[in-house]
Amino acid sequence: MGYEFSCAGLSARRPLYGLGEAPWNLPLSMGLVPFDENKNSFTAKQVNGLLGDKSLPLYNELTVNALDSNYASPEYIAQTRGHQNLVNVIRLPCNRNVWKRLSRGERAGRRKGNNDNRGASAIYGAKYKLNNVGEWGLPPGKGAVFGVKLASGRNCTAKIDTWEEMMVRSKRGHYMKDKPFRLFRVRLLDAASGQGLFKRDMWLGAWGKRAGELEGEEIYWAYRNRYDAEHFFRFGKQRLLLDKYQTPDEGHLENWLEVVSLAYWLLWVGQKQAKHICPKWQRYGKQVKERRANGLKVSPSQVQVQMAGIISGFDQTPFLPKLKIKGKGRELGQTMPRRKRYPVLVKGKKKKKTE
């Protein structure tokens, strides 16, 4: 029981081969999802607001937004299509169906074969199931093969196949016939044996007017960095009290999200002054040794431990206690009205039809 909230963040990790850089994910916009609004539509409004802000560096720059499979819906894709420089890289479920977009010649041939000449011109071609790629009969286009080193230290090869001009169906009033995308199949193979590491392949879709400018390797790393958002959620809940503020007032809760965002940004600014200091039992960890030897960024947890010492080096005048006049409190006999109690609402439950 509680609120869903949506966060759009900026990944600050570089795709370094074999080096685990600290997973910084800087929050740009956080907000509560209203109960009566679709979360994908709410996220689309957040993205539109960020890309439409001329004061931000994202304005008029190529921006890649990586999202999980929950956002592979017309509600998000259709409402962010208007941006010239936005490319959405979204993971697709393995049981999803996609369609091949018909070429102009194929559309003209179908139109000629229609004797009564009624209806709109066909857009969708053959249907393909992602979990049955072996029976497609549709050869992939230009692919990519490159080396990847996992966090466990295992060397593997990433093989990416690409299909152009793929489509998904229009649904729930969102028009998708003019929104083709590039389809990517990602397979991780063992470097020595060439056998697949996972039972299922990873499918990614790239929507956007500039999606053709990105290579398969860039698409792969863009989505790999999406997992840094999960680190921010865990760190925010464990160390920044993101979900600990209990209030019945929505406005207070939204203000608290802003406080947590500012606290995380303060840690990002402080990481320039922080050092790779950790407890004795973590001193010989593989990641700590690699980050220290290669001069990589300090992790958010390490910065938070050192933050008190960093702030103590500032001018303390603004932090000194100030004389304040105590409030008078409530007058004798004053009573406050009872707070209104709201019913518990569960998302996903269909409302009963009333005559």
How do residues 136-153 score in pLDDT, each as one tens digit?
999 999 889 999 888 777
Least confident interval from 153-167, 240-254, 273-287: 273-287
Angle, helix 300-312 to helix 228-239, in steps of 10 degrees: 50
Ordered by start, the domain boundaries in the chain are: 5-235
> What are the E-state strand segments in the chain?
5-11, 25-32, 63-67, 86-92, 97-101, 124-129, 144-149, 155-167, 181-190, 202-207
- The answer to whether 38 touches 5, Cβ cutoff 8 Å, is no
Residue 22 backbone class (left: φ over 0; alpha: ψ -120 to 50; beta: rest): beta
pLDDT score, position 215: 94
What is the longest distance spanned by two Cα atoms in the chain? Answer: 88
Cα angle: 155, vertex 144, 177; to 5 degrees: 130
CB atoms < 10 A from the CB of 299, how many?
24
pLDDT score, position 256: 96
Distance CA 347, CA 158 (A): 39
| φ/ψ (deg, to 5) at 136 | -70, -50
Query: Tens of pLDDT along 184-242?
Result: 999 999 988 889 999 999 999 999 999 999 999 999 999 999 999 999 999 999 999 99
Residue 349 has pLDDT above 60, yes or no: no
Residue 178 has pLDDT above 70, yes or no: yes
- What number of CA atoms fall less than 13 Å from residue 174's CA on the CB side? 18
pLDDT band at 28 (very low <50, low <70, confident <90, very high): very high
| φ/ψ (deg, to 5) at 296 | -85, 170
Nearby residues of 206 by Cβ (< 8 Å), 6 or more positions away: 87, 88, 89, 181, 182, 184, 214, 219
Distance CA 120, CA 157 (A): 45
pLDDT score, position 18: 60
Average pLDDT across the chain, whole number: 89
Is the model more confident about 313 or about 295? Answer: 313
Q: What is the CATH number of domain 5-235?
A: 3.90.350
If DSSP codes are grouped into helix, strand and coil, which group holds residue 220? helix
Distance CA 178, CA 185 (A): 23
Least confident interval from 56-65, 192-201, 274-283, 294-303: 274-283
Residue 352 has pLDDT above 70, yes or no: no
Mean pLDDT of 31-37: 89
Distance CA 333, CA 344 (A): 33
Least confident interval from 69-73, 129-133, 177-181, 275-279: 275-279
